[in-house]
Structure 1
Amino acid sequence: MKPALKIDFIDFWKTLNKTDNYFYRLLSSHYELYISDKPDIIFYSVFGKEHLRYKCPRILYSGENVGADFTECDFAFTGDFNPDPRHYRLPYYAICYTPEEFVMPVYDAEAELKSKQGFCSFVVSNRGGRVRNRFYDRLAAYKTIASGGRYRNNIGSPVPDKAAFIRDYKFSLAFENRSYPGYTTEKIVEAFISHTVPIYWGNPLIHKEFNPDAFLNYHAFPSERKFIEYIKEVDNNDALYLQHLQAYWCHGNRLNPQFLPENVGAWLVKCIESPIKPIACQPRTLTHYINHNLHRLKKNIRRRKW
């Protein structure tokens, strides 16, 4: 019989289903779970401060460009390369898809290329992102980029099916809102799964995440001009394009084992079973306030406009 565990999810995005999400599913194989307003532990994210009311152990999940503040949380999942033993690296894309979806299927790449209807797609609703918007303008000076989001839409209206839309184009402009080591959302994976070649900017260490032959990496070029020149070269050379299109997405054609649900779940259970005094119940020392203010400073630096 599985032990009972009372949990709650605080300060997440509004559409989160408390009984059908990544962490609930992980824990359900280890515990009999109950959503409770008096939880044994809470999971919280970065969209509010309600989590500060809870005295139980707190586990942060951040899929945004926000790191762990260990003056507020006991354990944390973020995309950062943070060596703290209380931290587990789990970028947002790793919770959006099953491990099987990261394995590149066998398909006819030449037929896929022939089916393409245009040069490049772009699907964005948030107008923020100075680097992304500037690059869009510069690349669009070469060829029209089909914009299917709410921002800069040039196809009539927002697309109902993003995956189907971007599959019709040779390339997908997959830029993050901000650049920070480790911060990687679902954008590049969406392009892979749709069998288009991502044009990527964001995580400068993205080559550690994915096979660099499978995408065009802004960070691998000495200048934006050189990068655009290479995009043009790939666009005009079918053999070179197919080299990128046919390359395995992940190193070894598999998801990093660190992100496998069984490994994430094992670490999570270890945290929950740890006999700790929650950070919320620990005295506020000078070191606590120094660390908290340092985190706030780093957070503001990371959020500077790109």
Structure 2
Amino acid sequence: MMQGKDQYGELEKLYGVKGKYSAKQLCQHWQKTVMQYTKLRITHLSDKLPALSGCAKDIGRITGDKFLAGLWRASFAEGLLWVVNVPVDQPRASVWRAPSWSWASIDSTMGIDYIYAMRTRHRQHFQDKIQEVECVPDGVDETGAVKSAHVWVRASLCPVHLRRVCRRCTTSRSRIPYIIENNQWMLTRSPKITPCPVTPGNDIRALVLKGAEPSFFPDYKYDDRVDFEFLDRNDGFACRHARVFLLHLYDNQSFATDVITDYFLVLKKVVQGGGETSFERVALITLAFKDWAARDDWFQNEYDLAVEQETALKIK
């Protein structure tokens, strides 16, 4: 249910800090507050971070943690596990107000959710790879509006291709016309449909998702004209492909099931005018495996063979 601004005070009471919570509980309270807050009708979108400044100051005072454009340094990897609730009907914000890895950079009519279960066994693959996070406030308030921000990580990327699915290849089950090119998608098409082949001449290799169930969560409504550099094709087929990269973040297993879920950021490469290369977040993708054996087999025989050499990456 969409909530009004008058209910935000109740959220602060429910998830407010009174010195009796652990750092982990405060992290969870913050994420719950963000999930509720992003569902509110905000008059000025530039107020997304300033409106939560008081709550952020309370948490920072108790934990000593550093606030980074809506995320926290000690739980930065967990803080990246947000998705935009459907319908994803808002484009990338025309005026920059937060880095692409922050939920505050996104406009959404239905808000965002954090998608990992709280009660899980988990392993963070990304947290220890963070080398530096720089967040420059737009003023004296370090928990308010942001002037610039980026994170430096040392990690490996897996080059893949984003498919813009044409109308002929779309199924009624899919509400999002984009997928990471994979063999399983081909197998789910109706026998009456012959899917468009990959764009020829570009060495596009579909991920072989044996034993994995993918879910793709775009961060915003893509504009095909400006958000991606789609490969040219002149073979009469309508599906389009653009190169993107997967960055492995996290895996977890719910206490209630054997299913293992791995989380990846989907990044696009951005080349600045001076030739500087950086990356921007455009989506999050999850892969669900039935057990650890299936998960480890896929990583050893598919993902680990496809990743590039570890290097320093700047994500803005």
Report the TM range for the smaller structure's normalisation: under 0.3
Which protein has the bigger strand share? Answer: 2
Structure 1-normalised TM-score? 0.25
Structure of greater Rg: 1
Which protein has the bigger helix share? Answer: 1
Structure 2-normalised TM-score? 0.25
